[in-house]
């Protein structure tokens, strides 16, 4: 009986490969949700362990990616529900330890956008990152986060609106503005 629940060797290998290949994407998502490299790494670790333990629950291999991200989301939920109050000093992360002077223009842009994303409420952040980074459809995001599609759309809307407000100063500088600046120096 026990044997009957065990997947075939090739399936198990394929599953392990899937987990290995998904790690960097899961980490990127966990990082975008927490902006804490240690916590993100732990969450991914938990996600992969849970996926291994519960691989039998995965009925449709085509839905494996959404399934993994759902586990990740639930791990984060569990973390905030039960562990927040016992955060150790190790969990406190200085996200930006470089000063703007030391950053290239591109790094500054990246930092600025990440800071803006960090300001978003987690539900909005999750929807935006799942849509934008993973390219998931709204239906898949709804499945991952276990919310209705309408909620996905409204969170996306509010999230992007907030991002726009946080990032108002990021726009290409018009030629006229540059000229005006130079004239001022003169």
Residues that bind another protein (CB under 8 A): 2-3, 5-6, 12, 16, 19-20, 23-24, 27-28, 31-32, 37-46, 48-49, 52-56, 75, 79, 83, 86, 88, 90-91, 109-110, 113-114, 117, 128-129, 131-133, 137-138, 153-154, 156-157, 160-161, 163-164, 167, 170
User: Smaller CB distance to another protein: residue 81 or 186?
Assistant: 81
CB of 182: closest distance to another protein in angstroms? 27
* Cα separation, 74 vs 16, whole angstroms: 21
CB of 34: closest distance to another protein in angstroms? 12
CB of 57: closest distance to another protein in angstroms? 9
User: Smaller CB distance to another protein: residue 32 or 66?
Assistant: 32
Helices marked H in the chain — which ranges?
9-34, 37-53, 64-78, 105-119, 122-132, 138-145, 149-166, 175-185
* Cα separation, 91 vs 154, whole angstroms: 32
User: Smaller CB distance to another protein: residue 46 or 73?
Assistant: 46
Burial class, 51, CB count within 10 angstroms (exposed 0-12 / middle 13-18 / buried 19+): buried
For residue 159, give Cα distances in angstroms to 67, 117, 125, 150.
24, 9, 7, 14
CB of 176: closest distance to another protein in angstroms? 18
């Amino acid at each position: 009986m026990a044997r009957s629940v065990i997947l075939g060797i090739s399936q198990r290998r394929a599953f392990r490969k899937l987990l290995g290949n998904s790690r960097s994407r899961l980490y990127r998502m966990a990082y975008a949700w927490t902006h804490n490299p240690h916590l993100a790494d732990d969450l991914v670790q938990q996600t992969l362990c849970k996926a291994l333990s519960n691989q039998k629950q995965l009925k449709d291999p085509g839905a494996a990616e959404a399934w993994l991200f759902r586990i990740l989301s639930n791990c984060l939920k569990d973390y905030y529900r039960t562990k927040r109050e016992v955060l150790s000093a190790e969990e406190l992360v200085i996200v930006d330890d470089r000063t703007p002077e030391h950053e290239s223009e591109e790094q500054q842009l990246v930092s600025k956008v990440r800071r803006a994303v960090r300001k978003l409420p987690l539900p909005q952040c999750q929807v935006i990152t799942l849509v934008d980074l993973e390219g998931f459809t709204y239906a898949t995001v709804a499945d991952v986060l276990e919310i209705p599609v309408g909620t996905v759309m409204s969170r996306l809307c509010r999230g992007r609106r907030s991002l726009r407000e946080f990032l108002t100063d990021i726009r290409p500088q018009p030629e006229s503005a540059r000229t005006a600046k130079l004239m001022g120096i003169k």
